[in-house]
Chain A
Amino acid sequence: QKEVEQNSGPLSVPEGAIASLNCTYSDRGSQSFFWYRQYSGKSPELIMFIYSNGDKEDGRFTAQLNKASQYVSLLIRDSQPSDSATYLCCSNFGNEKLTFGTGTRLTIIP
């Protein structure tokens, strides 16, 4: 069974601090990894994708991929109250389908 695991949280972070969200996956064949943000009652929206080992930065967001250790993380710098949401990690495991983790609920405390 190919799985993606996330700490469900909730994770509370003070405003302005760095939020660190982590995800592990079971299959070394995974090629692509995605982070989605989902506000309560809304659909997921794509934040970042990463295919290669190392870091990928986009504004306040940095995705980190370590294929040897089978983990992917998302860092949010200068956290804002608007970052409060559930963050979904997923992988395609080398095929056209995505397998999602259960999500980590993040709360930014003003």
Chain B
Amino acid sequence: DGGITQSPKYLFRKEGQNVTLSCEQNLNHDAMYWYRQDPGQGLRLIYYSQIVNDFQKGDIAEGYSVSREKKESFPLTVTSAQKNPTAFYLCASSTPGQGKETQYFGPGTRLLVL
């Protein structure tokens, strides 16, 4: 049963704490993405990775970090430098397609600040 999994579903962060969001896919997709969604807003790209051991900053990378050590996994760390982390975080992966890549999303992680 192929798909994208994200954990946890809900995550609570204390002041000054780093937290890591998990994203795993078994679709054999090369590219993976992290987005942030705030209430009533569209999706904003945080980081993306097209191959293992390589990733690029998106539009709002400050205060976040990622790694891509395995094709299946693309964890996102929300660091203490991210001052407004409360949001819905979505991971996606895409098929290759030379400009026709289609992205599929995981179920999301909702991050809340205590």
Binding site secondary structure of chain A: loop
Count A-B contacts at CB 8 Å: 56
**Contact assessment for A43 and B108 in the assembled complex, using a CB-CB cutoff below 8 Å:** yes
Point out the residue from B45, B104, B105 that lies within 8 Å of A97, measured CB to CB. Answer: B45
Residues of A within 8 A of B105 (CB): 36, 43-45
Interface size on B, residues (CB 8 A): 23
Point out the residue from B43, B44, B100 that lies within 8 Å of A44, measured CB to CB. Answer: B43
Chain A residue with the shortest CB-CB distance to B48: A97
Q: Can you list 15 A-B pairs with a CB-CB distance of less than 8 A?
A: A31-B99, A32-B99, A36-B105, A43-B108, A46-B104, A88-B42, A90-B43, A92-B101, A94-B99, A96-B48, A97-B33, A97-B48, A101-B42, A102-B40, A103-B42
Interface residues of A (CB under 8 A from B): 4, 8, 31-32, 34, 36, 42-46, 49, 51, 88, 90, 92, 94-98, 100-103
Interface residues of B (CB under 8 A from A): 31, 33, 40-45, 48, 50, 58, 90, 94, 99-108
